[in-house]
Amino acid sequence: MLNRTLDNRYTILERIGGGGMADVYRAHDKLLDRSVAVKVLRSQFTDDEEFISRFRREAQAAAKLSHPNIVNIYDVGFDEQAYYIIMEYISGETLKDKIDREAPLPVETAVLIAMEIAEALEHAHQNNLVHCDIKPHNILITRSGRVKVTDFGIARAVTSSTMTNSGTIIGSVHYFSPEQAKGTSVGAKSDIYSLGVVLYEMLTGHVPFIGESPISIALKHIQEEPKPPRELNASIPPLIEAIVVKAMHKDPAARFADIGEMIADFKLAQNYLRDDHTRRLSHTDFPTQVLPPVTTTSQQDNSRHIVPSNTPASLLKEARLSKAWLLGIALLLLASAVIAFLGFGKFWSLNEVTVPDVVGKQVDTARNIIISNNLRVSVSDAFNDKVPAGQVISQQPEAGTTVKEQRTITIIVSKGGEVTVVPDLRGLSRRDAELQIKNAGLKLGRVDEQFAEAAPADTVISQNPRPPAQVTKGTTIDIVISKGTSPKKVALPDFQGSLLTTVATQLESLKLKQGKITEIPNDKYPPGTIISQNPPPATEVTEGTTIDFSVAKGVPGAVKRAVVQVTVPDGAGRQALQIVVTDTNGRRVAYEGTHKPGERIEKTVEGTGQVRVQVYINDKLLQEQTI
């Protein structure tokens, strides 16, 4: 997607985040000259017509939302198989980043953030839009501290579609509600539950439930009660803990009636927290709709309810449980018993069995083994690139555990490695190609380089596997990078017999380089003369090739010979000619005679070392040379 322009308007600049359903990019809006965030749906969702219909409808509904605590949605569109949403670009951090860095957050800060999230949800609920994926990762905090909720529309579309079509729940297992874990219909109270989990994490630094697998965590949302927040952080006031507990009730009917009621309690909590000296609330600060009327009977029935000793009498009276609350506890216990019955089977039975080990076995074999041991089996699946498809990855309870008959054993079966589509890397720079490979969950394999006339240097010209192949995540992708236009070839001239000092200009014009110079004693060529070259003459070489030379070097003590040619100039009828040689042996006359004008004389002279030859006519120097 990098450098791609959607609808000739939004130019994608860089990837800034993403999840299992979409990637998020920073882009430039050419029309309005501003930065925007672009959320692009992953390719595996683009072929589901029902999902696309829901996505469009709900994304358009989300675009109608206008609230200071909601990321603005500017546009929704489709361009070349890419469904996208254009959103407000927020420069800041996610709430998850803040929790990881600072948790547990101060109570006042946590309540303030939770209240702003609640106000955003209230606006959405009033517009018949349920978020369904409230989690710290979807809460942005601007540099000025403003809370912004994002991801409206997409999460609901994905959850509804996948539940209907495949029975698989896609969501954030640490934060979703029990009804989401069961795969049943969700509503506004699911957002209330998720907000309770977020507040729990802000106050304690921990999510309420952890487990070895998503299924085990989902079961805890359904079956178990979280550890009370005050056990993890004693500084949490009881009133704040009560808000968290109520928001996270297993039964949606026992949670806040709506998000507005939760906001009212947050305001009540803020009033309580403003009293820095006593941490107390006046009786008039309680909204009457939160706690039922207090009766004498209810006060007696709840005389054992523990409250802080410094709570004023008015707060003590309002905080006691009513009969209705006791009835709710009784119903909760009854529900827990039903869950225990369903989850653990015949709990009245005295017969116990040892859970067999089925990890690594084929699913049908594992199912038969479990049933043959008088146990029940629940099968879920998950992607796993280390366990072959159809084999059991893990089981709960673990092998060797002693349980009663008919206990349900949950097994997780491998679907094999998660499949992804190979991106088209051709034409991308090497850096962008590596980012695309990483973003697709793949690995960079072998990188080769080739000359390519039509492709700029450092761009991808081919890849293996080729797009749009579907491969398992973690697969290596080999790429070939262009080295640019291939260098031209030239026929190498014959430099032999030339002086080394004279060939530099010729080498430069041919875009060749002078290489290694080797001096070889030689009395047949003047010192500095090229006597051989590598590569040899007429060889075709590419521009930039290095040429090595062997150069003649004088031989000490060797006799040097040369033929001296002299033409007697015009002048007197008889002229005196003298040839003088100077070498290591000294100066001597090698020839002397009288000749007529125009006469041509050739004489061979010799010497050792550096030999200088001088020709005189009538005692005047006519010519001179060195051999």
Site of tokens 């957002």: 191
Kind plus residue range of the DSSP H or E element containing 411: strand 408-414
Q: What is the pLDDT of residues 168-182, one digit of tens each?
A: 454 578 998 998 888
Residues of the chain with CATH 3.30.200.20: 5-88
Q: What token pair was written down for 489?
A: 């070839």
Is the pLDDT score of 103 beyond 50?
yes
Q: What is the pLDDT of residue 580?
A: 95
Percent above pLDDT 70 for the chain: 83
Q: What is the pLDDT of residue 292?
A: 43
Alpha-carbon dihedral 9, 14, 17, 22, rounded to 10 degrees: 40
Q: Is the pLDDT of residue 20 over 90?
A: no
Strands 10-18 and 546-553: unpaired
**Predicted pLDDT of residue 468:** 81
**SS3 annotation, 9-28:** CEEEEEEEEECCCEEEEEEE
**Model confidence pLDDT, tens digit, residues 583-599:** 888 899 999 999 999 99
345-414: which CATH topology? Trypsin Inhibitor V; Chain A (3.30.10)
Average pLDDT over residues 504-517: 91
Q: Tell which CATH architecture fits domain 489-553.
A: 2-Layer Sandwich (3.30)
Specify the pLDDT at position 172.
78
Q: Kindly give, in sequence order, each residue whose CB lies less than 8 Å from that of residue 155, ignoring residues fewer than 6 positions away.
A: 21, 131, 132, 133, 138, 171
Q: Which CATH class is domain 419-482?
A: alpha beta
**pLDDT at residue 316 greater than cutoff 60:** no
* 570 or 333: which leads in pLDDT: 570
pLDDT band at 328 (very low <50, low <70, confident <90, very high): low
CATH superfamily, with its number, for domain 5-88:
Phosphorylase Kinase; domain 1 (3.30.200.20)
**Averaged pLDDT for residues 80-105:** 90
Task: For residue 620, say whether it is annotated as part of any ligand binding site.
Answer: no
User: Token pair of 407, please?
Assistant: 């206990």
What is the per-residue pLDDT for 156? Answer: 56
Whether 383 has a pLDDT exceeding 70, the answer reads: yes
Instruction: Please check whether residue 320 is in contact with residue 294, taking contact to mean a CB–CB distance below 8 angstroms.
Output: yes
CB under 8 Å to 512, separation ≥6 — which residues? 490, 492, 541, 543, 544, 545, 546, 547
Bridge partners of 591, per DSSP, are 579
Number of helical (H) and strand (E) elements in the chain, helices listed first: 16, 30
pLDDT of residue 560: 82
Instruction: Say whether 478 is catalytic.
Output: no
Where residue 200 falls among pLDDT bands split at 50, 70, 90?
very high
Question: Cα separations (Å) of 30 from 38, 79, 82, 558?
Answer: 14, 16, 19, 82
pLDDT score of 153 more than 60: no
Going by pLDDT thresholds of 50, 70 and 90, the confidence category of residue 299 is: very low
Residue of 133, 151, 191, 583 with catalytic role: 133
Q: Looking at the predicted structure, is the pLDDT value of residue 49 above 50?
A: yes
Of the candidate ranges 300-309, 461-470, 611-620, the one whose mean pLDDT is the lowest: 300-309
Question: What is the domain class of 559-626 according to CATH?
Answer: mainly beta
Asked if residue 577 has pLDDT above 90, the reply is: yes
Residue 278 has pLDDT above 70, yes or no: no
The mean of the pLDDT values for the chain is 82
Domain with CATH 3.30.10.20 in the chain: 345-414, 419-482, 489-553
Q: Where in the chain is the domain with CATH 2.60.40.2560?
A: 559-626
What is the pTM for the complete model shown? 0.46
CA distances, 150 to each of 94, 119, 269, 307, 555 (Å) = 10, 13, 25, 38, 88
pLDDT at 312: 32
In contact, 626 and 614? CB cutoff 8 Å: no
Residue 120: the pLDDT is: 94
Q: What's residue 183's pLDDT?
A: 79
Q: What is the mean pLDDT of residues 268-285?
A: 58
CATH superfamily name and code, 92-290: Transferase(Phosphotransferase) domain 1 (1.10.510.10)
- Place 602 in a pLDDT band, splitting at 50, 70 and 90: very high
Residues 6+ apart with CB under 8 A from 386: none
pLDDT band at 539, cuts 50/70/90? very high
In this predicted model, what pLDDT tens digit does every residue of 111-123 receive, in sequence order?
999 999 999 999 9
Strands 513-521, 546-553: pairing is: parallel
Of residues 120 and 81, the one with the higher pLDDT is 120
Percent of the chain predicted with pLDDT > 90? 44
Lowest mean pLDDT among 187-201, 236-250, 361-375, 555-569: 555-569
